[in-house]
């Protein structure tokens, strides 16, 4: 059992965040961010070539972080590999001691830095969860016996504020049925939306880690509302952000809103997933003022 799984099952309020492995092998910046948040964050998502922009493999980085005493969560996308490769990679990662995984479809290569790359998308997120659960039961996806069974703590993503609410609820139920043990959500700014989603999806003991993206400015908040599906920044927060000006005031307001967001969802979830987007240095202050600090 991974440390993250132990904490969730012990009903501790957990905090996860994201690190983006670089395009290259110089991991010094990534190590610095991880070291700065050691003891503050329970585990770190390692993204897999986000926005279809090629980067170093997160499984390799995960093992190196684990050697430094930092717990990784490896993101696995359906974009680049078929079901054979995905299962092989999971077994390889487990053999290296990695245990936390989050499954998602991944961004299309069309908008990435290799637009001519062929997308795979052989499996859905639910299919990948099902394959991972099968591996933990000693068999591959087609029922062939394994020689040695991995221990995996498997999760996925959900979008409580999706405009296609019914479809999202049904997809979430499919992921639960496929074996999801935890979910990390898209950013939440209205706890009523999260509560509505949980009432409909009935996660039945699956841990929910509510997504938190600190709002750096009114410009950022407006952009998120306009361009990111499933993010809803309420008008009241837009008005708050518009009421301040200057870098220091915007920083203070962004931290304050993030703290309030965490407090507002604490009773609904098992933890939060901090997507700092360059504000990693402010995560300790956000958590400390929210009452969620380790």
Q: What is the CATH number of the domain that holds 251?
A: 3.20.20.220
User: Measured between alpha carbons, how far is 292 from 37 in angstroms, rounded to an integer?
Assistant: 14
- The answer to the question of residue 213 being in a domain is yes
Q: Output the pLDDT for position 201.
A: 96
How many other C-beta atoms are found inside a 10 Å radius of the C-beta of residue 146?
15
Q: Please, what is the Cα angle at 72 between 227 and 180, to 5 degrees?
A: 70
**Residue 101 and residue 44 in contact, taking contact as beta carbons nearer than 8 Å:** no
Count of domains observed in the chain: 1
Is there a domain that residue 108 lies in?
Answer: yes
- pLDDT tens digits for the chain (294 residues)? 899 999 999 999 999 999 999 999 999 999 999 999 999 999 999 999 999 999 999 999 999 999 999 999 999 999 999 999 999 999 999 999 999 999 999 999 998 999 999 999 999 999 999 999 999 999 999 999 999 999 999 999 999 999 999 999 999 999 999 999 999 999 999 999 999 999 999 998 899 999 999 999 999 999 999 999 889 999 999 999 999 999 899 999 999 999 999 999 999 999 999 999 889 999 999 999 998 865
How far is it, in rounded angstroms, from Cα 161 to Cα 133? 28
Q: Which domain holds residue 31?
A: 3-289
Q: Is position 75 within any domain?
A: yes
Residue 294 lies in a domain: no
| pLDDT of 293 | 60
Residue 234, helix vs strand vs coil: coil
The pLDDT value recorded for residue 229 is: 85
Q: Examine residue 58 and state whether it is found in any structural domain, yes or no.
A: yes
What CA–CA distance (Å, rounded) separates 29 from 12? 29
Q: Does residue 169 lie within any of the structural domains?
A: yes
pLDDT at position 292, please? 80
Q: Which pLDDT belongs to residue 204?
A: 86
Query: Does residue 161 lie within any of the structural domains?
Result: yes
The answer to whether residue 235 sits within a structural domain is yes
- Give the CA angle between residues 30, 17, 165 to the nearest 5°: 140
């Amino acid at each position: 059992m991974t440390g993250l799984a132990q904490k969730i099952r012990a009903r501790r309020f957990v905090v996860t965040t994201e690190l983006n492995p670089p395009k290259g092998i110089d991991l010094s910046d990534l190590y610095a961010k991880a070291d700065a948040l050691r003891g503050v964050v329970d585990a770190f998502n390692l993204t897999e070539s986000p926005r279809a922009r090629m980067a170093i493999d997160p499984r390799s980085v995960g093992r190196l972080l684990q050697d430094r005493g930092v717990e990784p969560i490896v993101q696995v996308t359906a974009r680049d590999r078929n079901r054979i490769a995905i299962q092989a990679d999971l077994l390889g990662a487990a053999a290296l001691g990695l245990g936390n995984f989050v499954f998602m479809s991944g961004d299309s290569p069309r908008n990435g830095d290799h637009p001519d790359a062929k997308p795979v998308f052989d499996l859905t997120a639910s299919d990948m969860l099902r394959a991972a659960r099968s591996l933990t039961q000693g068999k591959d996806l087609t029922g062939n016996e394994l020689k040695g069974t991995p221990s995996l703590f498997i999760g996925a993503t959900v979008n409580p504020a999706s405009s296609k609410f019914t479809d999202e609820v049904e997809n979430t139920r499919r992921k639960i049925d496929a074996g999801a043990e935890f979910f990390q959500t898209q950013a939440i700014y209205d706890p009523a939306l999260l509560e509505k989603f949980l009432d409909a999806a009935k996660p039945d003991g699956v841990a929910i880690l509510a997504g938190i993206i600190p709002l750096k400015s009114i410009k950022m908040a407006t952009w998120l509302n306009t361009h990111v599906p499933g993010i809803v920044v309420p008008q009241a927060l837009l008005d708050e952000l518009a009421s301040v000006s200057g870098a220091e005031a915007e920083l203070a307001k962004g931290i304050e809103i993030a703290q309030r967001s965490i407090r507002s969802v604490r009773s609904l979830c098992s933890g939060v997933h901090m997507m700092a987007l360059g504000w990693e240095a402010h995560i300790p202050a956000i958590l400390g003022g929210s009452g969620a600090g380790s």
